[in-house]
Chain A
Amino acid sequence: MTDDQLLSQLLQKALPSVDAPRPPADLWPVVVQRAAAHEKVSAADLGVAAIIATMLLMFPQWFWFLAYHL
């Protein structure tokens, strides 16, 4: 047996495989929730966008300042 095979055997004993042929629960609803949460635009996002748009209308010279910081 080569050194690599010995090391491999040692690792297999130290890191036994986890017997889990399938997820313990239906994870599809969690995937859907995750997708919905990312697709929804929050009120906070809309608020920030509105503030930035207002500021740019009032002070157009701030464009580069905002572009640098956002």
Chain B
Amino acid sequence: MPDGLDGERLERFVHGDQAAFESLFRQFEHEVYRWIVRIVRDRAAADDVLVEAFWRAYRGRARFDPSRSFGAWMRRIATNAALDHLRAARAHAGWRSADDTMPAPAGPDQALHESIAQAFRRLPPKLQVVATLALVEEQPYAEIADALDLPIGTIKSRVFRATRLLRKELARLGITP
């Protein structure tokens, strides 16, 4: 088994066994939570996204192939749940609340950092997720592609588009990296 999990536990999960689901939750919650926090960058939102991700996994358990990696499957679900959270946050509250969730950087460059963070939050969510993982978290393209279930070429193209949009926005603010 790819995650070192026993196939019987995964089979039981697929058939709706709640004890098997709980043991998978206990085993993977920290790893999935850290991944979500990297994307949404907000602890409170990460709690909600974690619950949503595991709920989606349980709901879609019949589609899981027990011979594949549960961790990778869970990460894909979590990435999509985080993406949906970013979309909803953007549609619901606009930029102000997104900025509120950001930890304020201290020091003399605070205004500059806030402008950059704002420009970043203006990216469309699907570009924002890819840019966060590639440019901020420096995750390998292959890992991002796997988490989003997309070809590497699509990830590269999204990083390129995100970079271009960011440079444009930063130039508008008078910042030239």
State the A residues within 8 Å of B (CB). 3-4, 6-8, 10-18, 20-25, 27-28, 30-32, 34-35, 38
Contact = CB atoms under 8 A, between A and B. Distances in A.
Listed from nearest, the 3 A-B pairs whose CB atoms lie closest are A14-B116, A14-B113, A7-B177
A18 B43 contact: yes
Interface residues of B, number: 42
Contacts of B43: 18, 20, 24
Interface stretch (B49-57, B64-72, B84-92): B49-57
A23 B29 contact: yes
B1 interface: no
Given A13-B113, A18-B41, A8 B25 contact: no
Contacts of A25: 47
B25 A7 contact: no
Given A20-B43, A31-B55, 10 more contacts: A3-B177, A7-B167, A11-B116, A13-B105, A17-B137, A18-B37, A23-B30, A27-B54, A31-B54, A31-B58
